[in-house]
Amino acid sequence: MITSYISHSECMLHDMGPWHPESPHRISSINQQLERSALAQELQHYNARPATEEQIIRVHPKAHVLSLELSQPEENAPLVQIDDDTLMNHQTMHAATMAAGAVVRGTEQVLKNQADNVFCAVRPPGHHAERVESMGFCFLNNVAIGVEHARQNFGIKRIAVIDFDVHHGNGTVDIYKNDPDVLVCSSFQHPFFPWRFVDSEWDNIINTPLNAGCNGPEFRKLVEASWLPALQIHRPEMIFISAGFDAHKDDPIGEINLVDDDFFWVTKMIMDVARTYSDGRIVSVLEGGYSLSALGSATHKHIEALKGL
């Protein structure tokens, strides 16, 4: 398998303060883990390019993007608070544009057969970013910007977004809730942040709530039972993964007890679906994961699976 790894050092310029779990060190811990095991040498490495305004405003109205840009503080000015724990520094929009651009680049690589699948090691994350509301450490919905690129530039019709972050992908649900061509499958601890869209009234939104303390075998059973039938009906031509690793048992925020092998398993399960319906096309995008060591090891397992190891 040709697995492409797309990142950019400028994704680390967004910094919400030394106490904040969504820190630039998250990207370095993934890189270190990949380099230690030599898996890094088996990947094709690319730098992200910033998403263009045209690509971003397919998902977020121009006025919303402009208001984010206007909210951003000057260099050396205090951080600007967007919600209780989402803050902007002077480089936030630069990093967010780069994160979204990584997904656009990954989408192109997969659809031009330059890679079998892609992992985007980016931040800030995106799955909580609704169409007109930034929240939960997220500013732009990186995955949705990739989805729209696949649809509008390559004519891909049916897409699935699979989100195994410990938090519900409310942003992606908000964007696609009335768009049956995009199937969104999200597993999440419940009840838990962000407490939105939990009762799905839409056939294309598959919610898989998990009780606190849920372990790997329970998780596997629940996602298989809820996601697979929906994916078999939807027959996605391409799959995006909102790859959050905060359902790991060592994560300081989530209370779900997955281990590294569960992330390997869920990735393989998604790859089986992609092989059957989607010509193997997968673009996986980093979302949460706040224990630096668990983030490094679980992401490593995820990428090993993508690479076909």
In the bound complex, what is the minimum distance in angstroms from residue 210's beta carbon to Zn ion? 13
Q: Does 167 sit near Zn ion (CB under 5 A)?
A: yes
128 is catalytic: yes
* Chain mean position to CA 100: 10
Q: Dig out the tokens for 149 from the structure.
A: 């690129």
Compose the 127-166 pattern: x for residues touching Zn ion by CB under 5 A, - for all others.
Answer: --------------------------------------x-
Compose the 88-127 pattern: x for residues touching Zn ion by CB under 5 A, - for all others.
Answer: ----------------------------------------
Q: Does 288 sit near Zn ion (CB under 5 A)?
A: yes
In the bound complex, what is the minimum distance in angstroms from residue 245's beta carbon to Zn ion? 9
Q: Which CB, 180 or 213, lies closer to Zn ion?
A: 213
Please give the C-alpha separations between residue 110 and each of 31, 234, 237, 269, 279, in angstroms, as whole numbers: 22, 20, 12, 19, 10
Q: Dig out the tokens for 155 from the structure.
A: 């004519």
Count residues binding Zn ion (CB under 5 A): 5
Q: 15, 237, 246, 304: which one contacts Zn ion (CB under 5 A)?
A: 246
Q: Which of 127, 128, 149, 300 is catalytic?
A: 128
Which of 208, 194, 300, 295 is closest to 252 using CA atoms?
Answer: 295
Helical H segments across the chain, by residue range: 25-37, 53-56, 62-71, 92-111, 142-154, 170-176, 216-234, 260-277, 292-306
Q: Which CB, 124 or 288, lies closer to Zn ion?
A: 288
Q: Which CB, 5 or 290, lies closer to Zn ion?
A: 290
Q: Dig out the tokens for 212 from the structure.
A: 């606190």
Q: How far apart are CA 145 and CA 152, in angstroms?
A: 10
In the bound complex, what is the minimum distance in angstroms from residue 212's beta carbon to Zn ion? 14
Q: Which CB, 151 or 167, lies closer to Zn ion?
A: 167
In the bound complex, what is the minimum distance in angstroms from residue 98's beta carbon to Zn ion? 20
Which of 181, 180, 200, 176 is closest to 190 using CA atoms?
Answer: 200
In the bound complex, what is the minimum distance in angstroms from residue 289's beta carbon to Zn ion? 7
Q: Does 244 sit near Zn ion (CB under 5 A)?
A: yes
Q: Which CB, 50 or 244, lies closer to Zn ion?
A: 244
Report, in angstroms and rounded to the nearest whole number, the Rg of the chain calculated over CA atoms: 17
Phi, psi of 213 (to 5 degrees): 90, -10
Which of 30, 184, 45 is closest to 102 using CA atoms?
Answer: 45
Active site residues per annotation: 128
Residues that bind Zn ion (CB under 5 A): 165, 167, 244, 246, 288
